[in-house]
Amino acid sequence: MKNTILILLCALSLNGFCQTKNKPSFETITIGGGCYWCVEAVYENLNGVKSVVSGFSGGKIADPTYEEVCTGTTGHAEVVQVTYDKNITDINEIFKVFFTVHDPTTLNRQGADVGTQYRSVIFYKNEEQKKAAQSIIAELNKAKVYDSPIVTKVEAFTKFYKAEDYHQNYYANNKNQPYCKMVIQPKIEKFEKVFKTKLKKK
């Protein structure tokens, strides 16, 4: 009798009961690919991503301001902290997007944005992330996907500092700004074209 009730509850998905198989399993990765406004805007549209927070990692001082990081003297990189559901997307897909929407071969710059704060970097939090990062870099270099070798650093995560509130969801809140139109929008369009089956439903 008990087994019959359990089967019925599972079949009806009563209040989400028996859905442990689909229970969200969240993980976070911290990555830098130039201006965080650009990277944030892309990942906000990837299916499976729960949140994207712009901030700073890899520097020498605590709680840096945007102005301090912009001097290039604090050692921080502009990064985004991406939290995603491993049941919907995975670390390999996160990295595929990363290497599609920025140039990982230019040292300490992305286009007109120049400085160590714009460096290409992956801050891994566990061995799975570290190995996945090293593996995709090796594969891309071997396949000569880019004209020059990848300079993306793979470093252990230490600390993340959230950027000021006006930097969060910057593209969504400032779509008419020239930088958003000329720099961010083309990256989003490229992402949507390459990962069109992986987009969040609007």
Cα gap 97→18, rounded to integer Å: 33
The C-alpha R_g of the chain, in whole angstroms, comes to 19
Smallest Cα–Cα separation from 188: which of 35, 33, 41? Answer: 41
Smallest Cα–Cα separation from 151: which of 173, 121, 130, 127? Answer: 121
35 is catalytic: yes
Q: Which residue out of 10, 18, 35, 180 is catalytically annotated?
A: 35
3-class DSSP state of 30: strand
| Catalytic (active-site) positions | 35
